[in-house]
Chains A and B, each alone.
Chain A
Amino acid sequence: MSLYILCFILFLLGFYCLLVKQNLIKKIIGFGIMEYAINLFFILLGYRWEGEAPILDKHQVIVNFVDPLPQALILTSIVIGLGITALMVAIVIRIYEKHKSFDINEIRKLRG
């Protein structure tokens, strides 16, 4: 239980950084932290006391495996996070090239 809560605190830290920080790079970092927290949460859900990694062995028979399904999901999620990060960085670099700044206050010209 305490692990879940700590995990959610990590999520909230990333959320705060993503929404509040004025620096575009910091926003990307915030997104990354949020992604980490979610990934960790899934794996925590699949953990089993004294469990073994879900890889069968030729020589010994293990019965107590951790849940492999969340691991498969998170493999997908990590790659999705990488893709979004890359696209964000690309857009930020392009913005920097136009304005020579990462600060959202200097950049913001659009009306909300």
Chain B
Amino acid sequence: MIEVHVILVLMIIGAIAAIEIEEMLSSVIAMGAVGIGLSLQFLLLRAPDLAITQLVVEILSLIILIKATVGAKMPKEKFRARIGYLIFALLFAAAFLFFSEQALRELPGFGSPLMKMGSEYLTEGLKKTGATNMVSAIILDFRGYDTLGEATVLFTSVIGVLAVLRIVRKRA
């Protein structure tokens, strides 16, 4: 799985670029590169559904973000990285990584998941739902209620965007 490692490291570099580049458009594009890297990861990790969805969602969110930034006056990053601040951030990161490392040791190792539910879905899925794409079978049949919730999340945010961006006039 060396290629997954390599792309993950590249994603981290891309993320650092996206965070630290001053110019907004480049920063947004660097974030897009991270997203494309994620899409590639999904493909390598045998999740083609997610690769497609991630790719198109990434394009859409880049369009939205660029639409927000293009033509706008950008502030100069005036953030003075005070040394105390940085040390605190590093300490927090180190502590978080240490504890997560301790905790993640107790997971089943990478590449051998328990698949308590998953194997059940795989053996029963075709017979009981008639779908050959098991991910579709899960999101629309076994866990269809989740998908209703997910569609509702999107609906909520659409209504929220319309509400926030509506052209408001004073009511008499």
Contacts and interface: CB of A to CB of B under 8 A. Distances in A.
Interface residues of A, number: 78
Given A28-B65, A33-B31, A106-B75, A94 B50 contact: no
A45 B109 CA distance: 9
Interface string A1-13: 1111111111011
B79 A22 contact: yes
B126 interface: yes
A30 B19 contact: yes
B172 interface: no
Interface in B29-85: 31, 34-35, 38, 41-42, 45-50, 53-54, 57, 60-61, 64-65, 67-69, 72-75, 77-79, 85
Interface of A: 1-10, 12-14, 16-17, 20-23, 25-26, 28-30, 32-33, 36, 39-40, 43-49, 51-58, 65-69, 71-76, 78-87, 89-94, 96, 100-103, 105-106
